[in-house]
């Protein structure tokens, strides 16, 4: 039997999404911008014709529990309802991403699920509408429909909050990902951002400043100005983490080795190697660099970290449909 899988690559935000104005519809409080990476992805197949009497979800060949399956089931309703499908689904997903290590597995996971459900349901949504539906699974998944630099426009309603491709990033750009800790994080980004919006006195300042950062980073991308791109990325990420420190209770995803990695990035800059860090809702550090400098940077990090903690990534493509027998 021919089975169609969809592969979606993860993305790392350079201008962060950190807060919702509508929890149910996953509408963000600000627009964000990311780089899709080739090194981390999820492959998923969905079948509505399978011989199953309830939705059945395998992740990395393991049958998932009720809670995980319900999350997927609810999301699949966004395809079943408009397509008039009432049958149960068999969902098989493989993560080529350390799950929940702050490497945005929900982005590739939900984008791949959206792509696979789009195929299986016959809805055949275009990429823009697919990004809009992927958003309902996880905010960051909105951006993983496309490759390269991608903006998620916050929009005014659910109908215009979707991603747009900005630039295919086919210039000298890369990332060295420093996996400080691959264990599951204790506070999800969903919970963390909710509490930050509700309690952090720094939040208003964040919203004002991230809107400016977005305009400036788009100009830097247009001019292929790497230094500007990096400076805005590092500053924006730090400001997001600043909002969390102001939350009640205060929140920090950093670990001692995260700080070690950040200091090494600053040291490398002093030595004349342009590179900049960003961090998400986890302790791992992502180093934005020239792809042509990535081997050199990895070698320097390997003096402090184990080799298997260091992954070099290139800009990745958008959704791909794979056919296997």
In this structure, are strands 310-313 and 174-178 parallel, antiparallel, or unpaired? antiparallel
Nearer to ligand DP6, 141 or 312 (CB): 141
Output 8 or 268, the one with its CB closest to ligand DP6: 8
Q: How many CB atoms lie within 10 A of CB 231?
A: 17
Question: From the CB of 161, what's the least distance to ligand DP6, in Å?
Answer: 12
Distance CA 97, CA 110 (A): 13
| CB 29 to ligand DP6: min, Å | 11
Work out how close the CB of 68 gets to ligand DP6 at its nearest, in angstroms, rounded to a whole number: 14
Contact by Cβ (8 Å): 315, 35: yes
Of the pair 22, 263, the CB lying nearest ligand DP6 is at 22
Q: Which residue, 29 or 94, is less far from ligand DP6 as judged by CB? A: 29
Question: For every residue of 80-121, which 3-state class applies, written as one string?
Answer: HHHHCCCCCCEEEEEEECCCCCCCCHHHHHHHHHHHHHHHHH
CA distances from 278 to 20, 85, 252, 287 (A): 21, 42, 14, 7
Four-residue CA torsion sign, 38, 232, 274, 256: negative
Q: Give the tokens for residue 41.
A: 């992805």
DSSP string, 215-276: HHHHHHHHTT-HHHHHHHHHHHHHHHHHHHHTSSS------HHHHHHHHHHHHHHHTT--EE
Q: Which residue is nearest to ligand DP6 (CB)?
A: 139
Q: In whole angstroms, what is the distance from residue 198 CA to residue 194 CA?
A: 6
CB of 189 to ligand DP6, least distance (A): 4
Taking the complex as a whole, the smallest distance from the CB of residue 274 to ligand DP6 amounts, in Å, to: 23
Q: Which is nearer to ligand DP6, 18 or 276 (CB)?
A: 18
- Closest CB to ligand DP6 among residues 26, 176: 26
**Distance, CA of 260 to CA of 301 (rounded, Å):** 10
Positions touching ligand DP6 (CB under 6 A) are: 13, 16-18, 26, 32, 104, 106, 138-140, 189-190, 280-281
- Decide: helix, strand or coil at residue 155: coil
Whole-number minimum distance, CB 232 to ligand DP6, in Å?
A: 14
Distance in Å, CB of 305 to ligand DP6, minimum: 22
Q: Which of 88/95 has CB closer to ligand DP6?
A: 95
């Amino acid at each position: 039997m021919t089975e169609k899988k969809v592969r979606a690559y993860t993305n790392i935000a350079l201008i962060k999404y950190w807060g919702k104005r509508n929890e149910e519809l996953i509408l963000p409080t600000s627009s964000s911008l990311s780089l899709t990476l080739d090194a981390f992805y999820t492959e998923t197949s969905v079948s509505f014709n399978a011989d199953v009497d309830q939705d059945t979800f395998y992740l990395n060949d393991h049958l998932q529990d009720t809670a995980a399956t319900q999350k997927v089931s609810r999301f699949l309703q966004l395809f079943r309802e408009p397509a008039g499908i009432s049958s149960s689904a068999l969902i098989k997903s493989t993560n080529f991403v350390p799950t929940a290590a702050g490497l945005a597995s929900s982005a590739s996971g939900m984008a791949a699920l959206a792509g696979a459900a789009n195929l299986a349901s016959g809805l055949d949504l275009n990429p823009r509408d697919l990004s809009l539906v992927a958003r309902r699974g996880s905010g960051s998944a909105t951006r993983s429909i496309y490759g390269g630099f991608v903006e998620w426009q916050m929009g005014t309603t659910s109908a215009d909050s979707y991603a747009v491709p900005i630039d295919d990033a086919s210039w000298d750009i890369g990332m060295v990902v420093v996996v400080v800790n691959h264990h599951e994080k204790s506070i999800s980004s969903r919970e963390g951002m909710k509490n930050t919006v509700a309690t952090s006195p720094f939040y208003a300042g964040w919203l004002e400043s991230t809107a400016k950062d977005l305009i400036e980073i788009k100009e830097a991308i247009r001019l292929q100005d790497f230094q500007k791109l990096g400076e805005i990325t590092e500053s924006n990420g730090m400001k997001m983490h600043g909002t969390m420190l102001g939350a009640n209770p205060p929140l920090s995803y950093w670990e001692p080795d995260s700080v070690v990695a950040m200091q090494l990035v600053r040291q490398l800059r002093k030595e004349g190697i342009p590179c900049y860090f960003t961090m998400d809702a986890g302790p791992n550090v992502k180093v934005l660099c020239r792809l042509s400098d990535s081997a050199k940077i990895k070698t320097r990090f390997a003096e402090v970290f184990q080799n298997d903690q260091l992954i070099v990534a290139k800009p990745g493509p958008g959704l791909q449909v794979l056919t296997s027998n």
